[in-house]
Amino acid sequence: MRTNSQLSNKLVRGLSKILGQEFVTFWLEQAGSTQSTDRCLAEVVSIDRETQDAVSLWLRPNALFTGFEAGQHVNLSVSIEGVVHTRSYSFSSAPTTDGLVRLTIKQTPTGLVSRHVVNNLEVGTIVELGDVFGDMTLSNTQPKLTEQRPTMLLLAAGSGITPMISLIESLEAKNWPADVTLMSWARNPADVLFDQLLKSKAAASEHFKYVRLLEDGANEAEGDLTGRPSAAQFKKVAGNLAQSDVYACGPDGFMTALRSIVGDKPKSFHAESFTPMALSVDENAEVKTFTVTLTKSNRIVEVSNNKPLLKALQEQGINPPHGCGMGICNTCSCEKLTGTTQNMQNKSVCGSNNTALRLCISAAQGPVSLDL
């Protein structure tokens, strides 16, 4: 395990001025330090195995970490065989006062980063955290939480449980100012994340109800229900949804199923999907290639009009900063100096110059120049 040797911030700033920030941060990182004048580095202080294919990382970020609200996400960068890869993860704990944050990562079968984190990451490793983002927070969705007692229905599948745990712990820390029900879907009992923790919270408070919905191995005597999301399950657990503020998180297919079941019945519906929605340009459009000029790096590359610019650039060995890959974290945003692009999610076309462009969801529709 590496030691987290901390030099005084004054010394680090002085050395950075003389030797350059990148050089000093690199060598501090090699020495196991999270100190940096410009990057939010974090040390992995412990790893909890949650299920066979999921772990929780407890991280201690450096002083550049600006904190988070329950329900938010962060971009995590890890180095795998010398190459840095970035993915988005939700905080799976409420904000704490001890400076630690928890992320819970479930391995996807062919996933590069999740498999590395679940199987190879070690305590003492230094990782990097990007900007915190996400609107499914209590301050955003429940501005009157102290005046009213809402009925909150939390719906989660797979790793979608992570922001729910953060919200639940945050509500518990506020002594349950809401009546909360969590419906957690999983394949079988061994696959359920945070099962014991949730059972003990439910046993300790009349304001928190926890229901597991399992494809296999449901124990009806313990209150489990069987199967994928269905109207019957909602009728049994949630009753009339008109009084409920619904929060949902999980893979795209799960979210689509939920939307078709609950429709516009709930008082409010807040959703986060962890899998990118399908991106496309006009299906009848002819496939063409256009030049993209990268003014800072002085490069000109050819990209096709039916691919997000981020992917097209990555295929040519150019790796701009990025995170969620689905247009929500803004990490890939850069200035489009000239040219026309299409948003591949909502199909809107933008021909204005000097505008912010999210590379992960935009395709070139003509020659483009970027401040990259």
Ligand X SMILES: Cc1cc2nc3c(=O)[nH]c(=O)nc-3n(C[C@H](O)[C@H](O)[C@H](O)COP(=O)(O)OP(=O)(O)OC[C@H]3O[C@@H](n4cnc5c(N)ncnc54)[C@H](O)[C@@H]3O)c2cc1C
Among the listed residues 8, 52, 97, 110, the single contact to ligand X using CB under 6 A: 110
Number of Cβ atoms within 10 Å of the Cβ of 127: 21
Rg (CA), the chain: 23
- Interacting partner of 314 out of ligand X, ligand FES, none (Cβ under 5 to 8 A depending on kind): none
Among the listed residues 111, 124, 177, 217, the single contact to ligand X using CB under 6 A: 111
Closest separation in Å from C-beta 158 to ligand X: 7
Contact criterion met (CB below 8 Å) for 107 and 193? no
Contact between 324 and ligand X (CB under 6 A)?
A: yes
Q: Which two tokens stand for residue 166?
A: 């953060």
Q: Which of 92, 27, 30, 25 is nearest to 64 (CA)?
A: 25
Q: Which of 58, 53, 23 is nearest to 39 (CA)?
A: 23
What is the distance between the alpha carbons of residues 107 and 119, in angstroms, rounded to a whole number? 9
Sheet with strand 289-294: strands edge to edge: 299-304, 289-294, 368-370, 333-338, 355-358
Q: For ligand FES, give the closer residue by CB, 172 or 335.
A: 335
Q: Which of 338, 320, 332 is nearest to 360 (CA)?
A: 332
Q: For ligand FES, give the closer residue by CB, 182 or 361.
A: 361
Q: Residue with structure tokens 């021909």?
A: 351
Among the listed residues 35, 162, 331, 362, the single contact to ligand X using CB under 6 A: 162
Number of Cβ atoms within 10 Å of the Cβ of 198: 21
Closest separation in Å from C-beta 320 to ligand FES: 9
Among the listed residues 42, 70, 87, 152, the single contact to ligand X using CB under 6 A: 87
Q: Residue with structure tokens 């501090």?
A: 28
- Interacting partner of 251 out of ligand FES, ligand X, none (Cβ under 5 to 8 A depending on kind): ligand X
Burial of 305 (0-12, 13-18, 19+ CB in 10 A): buried
- Interacting partner of 327 out of ligand X, ligand FES, none (Cβ under 5 to 8 A depending on kind): ligand FES
Among the listed residues 141, 251, 277, 335, the single contact to ligand X using CB under 6 A: 251
Q: Which two tokens stand for residue 172?
A: 């518990």
Closest separation in Å from C-beta 235 to ligand X: 29
Q: Which two tokens stand for residue 40?
A: 């939010």
**Cα Dmax for the chain:** 68
Q: Which two tokens stand for residue 232?
A: 């019957």
Q: For ligand X, give the closer residue by CB, 249 or 364.
A: 249
Q: For ligand X, give the closer residue by CB, 88 or 142.
A: 88
- Interacting partner of 104 out of ligand X, ligand FES, none (Cβ under 5 to 8 A depending on kind): ligand X
What is the distance between the alpha carbons of residues 60 and 45, in angstroms, rounded to a whole number? 7
Q: For ligand X, give the closer residue by CB, 43 or 272.
A: 272
Among the listed residues 24, 334, 360, 370, the single contact to ligand FES using CB under 6 A: 360
- Interacting partner of 345 out of ligand X, ligand FES, none (Cβ under 5 to 8 A depending on kind): none
Q: For ligand FES, give the closer residue by CB, 189 or 251.
A: 251
In the stretch 313-332, what mask flags binding to ligand FES with x, by CB under 6 A?
A: ---------xxxx-xxxxxx
Residue with the closest Cβ to ligand X? Answer: 111
Choices 43-51, 272-280, 333-341, 363-371 (CB under 6 A): range interacting with ligand X: 272-280
Contact criterion met (CB below 8 Å) for 359 and 279? no
Q: For ligand X, give the closer residue by CB, 303 or 326.
A: 326
**Cα three-residue angle 250-252-254, rounded to 5 degrees:** 60
Q: For ligand FES, give the closer residue by CB, 41 or 328.
A: 328
Q: Which two tokens stand for residue 284?
A: 């009848």
**What is the contact surface with ligand X in residues (CB under 6 A)?**
73, 87-90, 104-106, 108, 110-115, 159, 162, 251, 272, 274-275, 324, 326
**What is the contact surface with ligand FES in residues (CB under 6 A)?**
322-325, 327-332, 358, 360
